[in-house]
């Protein structure tokens, strides 16, 4: 039984990491654990549809004690668990906070395959959205709630830009324009300066959180999208979310 209001349990800064498949969400989390794990008490929650694959990847990366990495298996509609009904994730975060108190930061990785997945501000205090240059230079211009409204947009794998013909500076300019100036960080695991920027952003956000000045902002619900079987799923009205049969998708 969770003791949500236990006076000895510190409330962590909760950071979401969303973005399309393969853009480097798990890698970003591993990098942050490596960069911050000695000075901060960290926890990680992964969301996968049917497996705990991302949690296993992170445990095997050896960047954080394995018991601080927990998997939520979300079932058929993974973005629901970070957006509409966040209870599974909230319980997992609170369990970590209780088991390892004091926890400074919990990183929550989204599952799913959609460009527009966003976290509810009821679950996270701030959120990353991760794109990579291999997805093409145009993707940042296309917008969407995560690209436009997440607290930080990561343009990842910049070391690959010459091979995929992407102008990183232009991609960052396009992204900044789509985001009305909100933070965009061009990142590569081979570029220490870019890694330092992400690290500094987390530490600054933690300081803001501790001062009481951090106000979670909602990037907005994800756009309507089609599932592999062709059913359409919209989160436009977050208050209504009937759950269909697993794997079939559903419509509001």
Ligand X SMILES: Nc1nc2c(ncn2[C@@H]2O[C@H](COP(=O)(O)OP(=O)(O)OP(=O)(O)O)[C@@H](O)[C@H]2O)c(=O)[nH]1
Residues that bind ligand X (CB under 6 A): 19, 21-27, 54, 156-157, 159-160, 188-189
Q: Please, what is the minimum distance in Å from the beta carbon of residue 215 to ligand X?
A: 27
What's the rounded Cα separation, in Å, for the pair 147 and 177? 11
Considering beta carbons, is residue 27 or 209 the nearer one to ligand X? 27
The answer on whether 230 is annotated among ligand-binding residues is no
The answer on whether 23 is annotated among ligand-binding residues is yes
What's the rounded Cα separation, in Å, for the pair 14 and 7? 19
Taken in order 156, 160, 166, 169, is the CA torsion positive or negative? positive
Considering beta carbons, is residue 9 or 108 the nearer one to ligand X? 108
CA dihedral (105, 56, 145, 237) in degrees, to 10, reads -100
Considering beta carbons, is residue 190 or 252 the nearer one to ligand X? 190
The answer on whether 176 is annotated among ligand-binding residues is no
The answer on whether 24 is annotated among ligand-binding residues is yes
The answer on whether 220 is annotated among ligand-binding residues is no
Q: Please, what is the minimum distance in Å from the beta carbon of residue 53 to ligand X?
A: 7
Tell me how many helices (H) and strands (E) the chain has: 8, 9
- Number of neighbours of residue 139 by Cβ within 10 angstroms: 22
Considering beta carbons, is residue 88 or 158 the nearer one to ligand X? 158
The answer on whether 26 is annotated among ligand-binding residues is yes
Q: Please, what is the minimum distance in Å from the beta carbon of residue 211 to ligand X?
A: 31
Considering beta carbons, is residue 9 or 124 the nearer one to ligand X? 124
Q: Please, what is the minimum distance in Å from the beta carbon of residue 23 to ligand X?
A: 5
The owner of tokens 């394995």 is 66
Considering beta carbons, is residue 21 or 177 the nearer one to ligand X? 21
Bridge partners of 106? 14, 43
Q: DSSP labels for 71-132? A: EEE--S-TTHHHHT--HHHHHHHHHHHHHTSSP-EEEEE--SS-TT----TTT-SEEEEEEE
The answer on whether 110 is annotated among ligand-binding residues is no
Candidates 85, 77, 132, 81; CA nearest to 109 is 81
Q: Please, what is the minimum distance in Å from the beta carbon of residue 25 to ligand X?
A: 4
The owner of tokens 């102008």 is 167
Q: Please, what is the minimum distance in Å from the beta carbon of residue 75 to ligand X?
A: 17
Known binding-site positions for GTP: 19-26
| Residues of the binding site | 19-26
């Amino acid at each position: 039984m969770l003791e949500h209001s236990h006076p000895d349990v510190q409330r962590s800064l909760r950071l979401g990491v969303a973005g399309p498949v393969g853009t480097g969400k798990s890698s970003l989390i591993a990098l942050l654990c490596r960069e911050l794990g000695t000075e901060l008490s960290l926890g990680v929650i992964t969301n996968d549809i049917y497996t705990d694959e991302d949690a296993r990847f992170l445990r095997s990366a050896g960047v954080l004690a394995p018991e601080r990495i927990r998997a939520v298996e979300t079932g058929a509609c993974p973005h629901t668990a970070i957006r509409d009904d966040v209870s599974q994730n909230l319980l997992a975060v609170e369990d970590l906070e209780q088991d390892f108190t004091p926890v400074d930061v919990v990183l929550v990785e989204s599952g799913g395959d959609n460009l527009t997945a966003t976290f509810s501000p009821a679950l996270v205090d701030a959120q990353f959205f991760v794109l990579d240059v291999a997805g093409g230079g145009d993707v940042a211009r296309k917008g969407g709630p995560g690209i436009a409204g997440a607290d930080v947009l990561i343009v990842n794998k910049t070391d690959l830009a010459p091979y995929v013909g992407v102008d990183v500076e232009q991609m960052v300019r396009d992204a900044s324009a789509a985001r009305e100036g909100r933070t965009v960080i061009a990142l590569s695991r081979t570029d220490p300066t870019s890694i330092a920027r992400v690290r500094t952003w987390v530490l600054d956000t933690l300081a803001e959180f501790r001062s009481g000045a951090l106000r979670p902002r909602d990037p907005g619900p994800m756009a309507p999208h089609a599932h592999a079987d062709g059913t359409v799923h919209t989160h436009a009205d977050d208050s209504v979310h009937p759950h269909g049969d697993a794997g079939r998708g559903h419509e509001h």
